With several copies, the nearest count.
Chain A
Amino acid sequence: MRSIYLDHAATTPVREEVIEAMVKVLRENFGNPSSIHQFGRPVRKMMEEAREKVAKAINADPREIIFVGSGTEADNIAILGGARANKKKGNHLITTSVEHHAVLDAFKALEKEGFEVTYLPVDEVGRISVEDFKNALRDDTIFVSVMHANNEVGTIMPVEEIGAICREKKILFHTDAVQSVGKIPVDVTKINCDFLALSGHKLYGPKGIGVLYMRRGVRTQPLYFGGGQERKLRPGTENIANIIGLSVAIELAVAEMEQESARLSKLRDKLIDGVLANIEETRLNGPREGRLPHNVNVSIEYIEGEALLLTCDMKGMAASSGSACTSGSLDPSHVLMAMGLTHTTAHGSLRLSLGKSTTEDDIDYIIRELQPIAERLRAMSPVWERFQKGLPIA
C-alpha cells in the first residue's frame, strides 16, 4: 500500500547527509568538548564550526548561537529568562493567541508569577495586525513574542514590522521560527529580533536539538544550573552528534530553500484547489498568500478530526488534525478557535504538511482519495445529517 508522509510540520525524516555526519561523530568524536586533551579538543573545534554554520543560516554572529535541547527549550529560555531577567524594567508582556504551546504555556507561567500578558487576537486567516500590536504597547511593556509562522495553518506573521517597533522602543523581541527556518528566508538582522528559536527536527535534522539565537548584549537567565556550557544558559555535556547533525541540516535546508519552496508552493496550491473543488462544504484554514510553502490546512465540515486521520492513515496518508480528540484535551485547537472557527469546523480540520518526499503524484492521490473518505464519514455523521436536513447545528 501507499505510504505518504504528510506531517512534515510535526517532524521530518532525518536526511541521509545528517545521519552520516552524526554517525561519524558518534563513532569517532565521542570526547567531551570541555576536555583539554586530544579527545576533547577536536570536538570543541567541530562544535564551533557548527555554530558558525548555524549563525550563517540566519545571518547571525556565531557568538549569538546557543545550542539547547529542543525548540521548546529555546522558546522557554528566551521567554521565561528574558522576562524574569528584565522584571525590574516593567511588568507587561505581549504575545499572540496562536503561538505554539512552548510559547503560550511559558507566558501562562509568567502570568502566575505576576506578569501581565496581552494575547493579541488574529484575523480569520490567523494573522495579527500591527495596529492591534501598537495599541497593546504600554510604557511598562518589556517583552514581546510573535511567531514567525504558524505551525497549524502556516500563516506568516508581520515580524519585521513588530521587530522594528520593538527595537525603536527598546523592548525585547522574541520570535519562534521553528516552522519557518528552511522554508522562508529568516534573517535576524531584518526581523530585528533579540531572540529567535529554531528546532532541528523540523528541517530534516535530529530530534532533541534546538537553537536559541540571542542578540549580543541582550540578557536572559537560565532555566536550570550546572556546568558552564553554552554560556551557562544551557548547562550539561553538549550533544555533539545532534549539534553537528543540526548544522548539516540547516546549511542544506537554507541552500535548497528557494528551489524547494517554489516546488512545494505549487504542490500546496494544487492540493488546496483540488480538495476544495472535490469535496463540498470544505474550507481553507489560513491565508492564500503569506502562507508557509508546505502547509495545507482544510476543514472538512461535519467530520471529526481523529476519525478522519485514522481513515486517511488506513489509505496510507499520514496527516494531522486540530481536533481535540487527537490531543486528549477537550477543546479543539486554540489556533483555529482564535481564528473564529466554530467548534464543528475546527473539529473537522486536517493539516497536510508537505516535504522533500512529496511528489505531484502524491498530491493527485490525496485529492482522489480524500473525497470518498469524507463521504464515508459524513454518511455516519449525525451532524452532516442535520446539515443536509437544514436543521440548526449546535
Chain B
Amino acid sequence: MYTDKVLDHFTNPRNVGEIEDASGVGEVGNMKCGDIMKMYLKINDSTNVIEDVTFKTFGCGAAIATSSMSTEMIKGKSIDEALSLTNKAIADALDGLPPVKMHCSVLAEEALKAALLDYQKKSGKNLGLNEEDFEDWDEE
C-alpha cells in the first residue's frame, strides 16, 4: 500500500514540533475528516528564506509522511519556492501515494500556504496570497 519512502517518513518523521517564535503558523483540516495539520515557519525577513519549519499532524500514515516530506522540501528554500510546492510534488517525492490517499497530501500543501498567509499578515509583505482562496480550497 505505502512506498518505502512513505513508511520511512511515517516512522521517522522529520521536523516534528513547534517553533516558539514562529514567523507564521498555519492549521488546516478538520476533526470530522480525521485530519488536522499545523505548520510552523521561521522566515528570515531580509532574505525571505525559510530557515526553520516544523509540523504537527493528526492523521493517517500518508498525512504524517507528506507533512514530514513537505518540511524537508521547503527547509532552506525561499518563500517563492515554497509557494510553488504542490501536493503532487510532495507525493512524487514520496514515490507516490495510493489514489485514496492523495487528499492527505493536499493537507500539507494547504498547511504550508496557510502558514505563509499568516506570515503575510504578520509581516505586512505581499506574497500574493489571498484569504478567500483558502475559504473554498478544495481537495483536488
A residues within 8 Å of B by Cβ? 36, 41, 44, 302-307, 310-311, 314, 323-326, 328, 330-332, 342-344, 347, 379-385, 393-394
On whether the beta carbons of B38 and A347 are closer than 8 Å, the reply is no
Q: Which residue from A307, A330, A393 sits with its C-beta under 8 Å from B59?
A: A307
Query: Chain A contact residues: over half helix, strand or loop, or mixed?
Result: helix
Q: How far does the alpha carbon of A44 sit from the alpha carbon of B2 in the complex, in Å?
A: 12
Query: Chain B contact residues: over half helix, strand or loop, or mixed?
Result: mixed
Residues of B close to A332: CB separation below 8 A: 34
- Total B residues in contact with A, Cβ cutoff 8 Å: 29
The B24-43 residues at the A interface (CB cut-off 8 A) are 27, 30-38
On whether the beta carbons of B1 and A381 are closer than 8 Å, the reply is no
Q: How far does the alpha carbon of A69 sit from the alpha carbon of B55 in the complex, in Å?
A: 47
- Residue on B nearest A328 in the bound complex, by CB: B100
On whether the beta carbons of B31 and A310 are closer than 8 Å, the reply is no
On whether the beta carbons of B33 and A330 are closer than 8 Å, the reply is yes
B residues within 8 Å of A by Cβ? 1, 7, 10-11, 13, 16-18, 27, 30-38, 55-61, 63-64, 100, 104
- Residue from the set B1, B36, B58, B104 with the largest chain A CB neighbour count within 10 Å: B58
On whether the beta carbons of A382 and B34 are closer than 8 Å, the reply is no
- Residue on B nearest A332 in the bound complex, by CB: B34
14 further A-B pairs in the complex, CB-CB below 8 A; given A41-B1, A347-B58: A304-B34, A306-B60, A323-B34, A325-B34, A328-B100, A330-B32, A330-B34, A332-B34, A343-B34, A347-B31, A347-B34, A381-B57, A385-B18, A385-B38
On whether the beta carbons of B36 and A382 are closer than 8 Å, the reply is yes
Instruction: State how many angstroms separate the Cβ of A302 from the closest Cβ of chain B.
Output: 7
Residues of A close to B34: CB separation below 8 A: 304-305, 323-325, 330, 332, 343, 347
On whether the beta carbons of A304 and B1 are closer than 8 Å, the reply is no
Residues of A close to B37: CB separation below 8 A: 382
On whether the beta carbons of A325 and B59 are closer than 8 Å, the reply is yes
Q: Which residue from A328, A331, A342, A382 sits with its C-beta under 8 Å from B58?
A: A382
On whether the beta carbons of A379 and B16 are closer than 8 Å, the reply is yes
On whether the beta carbons of A394 and B30 are closer than 8 Å, the reply is yes
Residues of B close to A36: CB separation below 8 A: 1
On whether the beta carbons of A307 and B10 are closer than 8 Å, the reply is yes
Can you give 5 A-B contacts (C-beta < 8 A)? A304-B60, A324-B33, A379-B17, A380-B13, A393-B31
A36-B1, A325-B34 given as contacts; is B64 within 8 A of A382 (CB)? Answer: no
Q: How far does the alpha carbon of A328 sit from the alpha carbon of B101 in the complex, in Å?
A: 8
On whether the beta carbons of A326 and B31 are closer than 8 Å, the reply is no
- Residue on A nearest B54 in the bound complex, by CB: A380
- Residue on A nearest B56 in the bound complex, by CB: A382
Residues of B close to A302: CB separation below 8 A: 58
A307-B61, A307-B64 given as contacts; is B31 within 8 A of A381 (CB)? Answer: no
Instruction: State how many angstroms separate the Cβ of B87 from the closest Cβ of chain A.
Output: 16
A41-B1, A307-B10, A344-B31 given as contacts; is B61 within 8 A of A382 (CB)? Answer: no
Instruction: State how many angstroms separate the Cβ of A347 from the closest Cβ of chain B.
Output: 4
Instruction: State how many angstroms separate the Cβ of A216 from the closest Cβ of chain B.
Output: 16
Q: How far does the alpha carbon of A44 sit from the alpha carbon of B7 in the complex, in Å?
A: 18
Q: How far does the alpha carbon of A347 sit from the alpha carbon of B34 in the complex, in Å?
A: 6
On whether the beta carbons of B35 and A304 are closer than 8 Å, the reply is yes
On whether the beta carbons of A314 and B1 are closer than 8 Å, the reply is no
- Residue from the set A303, A306, A393 with the largest chain B CB neighbour count within 10 Å: A306
Residues of A close to B104: CB separation below 8 A: 325
Q: Which residue from B13, B16, B58, B61 sits with its C-beta under 8 Å from A310?
A: B61
- Residue on B nearest A346 in the bound complex, by CB: B34
Q: How far does the alpha carbon of A330 sit from the alpha carbon of B17 in the complex, in Å?
A: 27
Instruction: State how many angstroms separate the Cβ of A340 from the closest Cβ of chain B.
Output: 15
Residues of B close to A394: CB separation below 8 A: 30-31
Q: How far does the alpha carbon of A305 sit from the alpha carbon of B64 in the complex, in Å?
A: 12
- Residue on B nearest A393 in the bound complex, by CB: B31
On whether the beta carbons of A44 and B35 are closer than 8 Å, the reply is no
Residues of A close to B11: CB separation below 8 A: 311, 314
Residues of A close to B27: CB separation below 8 A: 382
A325-B34, A328-B100 given as contacts; is B58 within 8 A of A383 (CB)? Answer: yes
Q: Which residue from B18, B35, B38, B58 sits with its C-beta under 8 Å from A303?
A: B58
Residues of A close to B10: CB separation below 8 A: 307, 310
On whether the beta carbons of B58 and A381 are closer than 8 Å, the reply is yes
On whether the beta carbons of B60 and A383 are closer than 8 Å, the reply is no
On whether the beta carbons of B32 and A380 are closer than 8 Å, the reply is no
- Residue on A nearest B16 in the bound complex, by CB: A380
Residues of A close to B1: CB separation below 8 A: 36, 41, 44
- Residue on B nearest A306 in the bound complex, by CB: B60
Instruction: State how many angstroms separate the Cβ of B41 from the closest Cβ of chain A.
Output: 15
Residues of A close to B60: CB separation below 8 A: 304-307, 323, 325-326
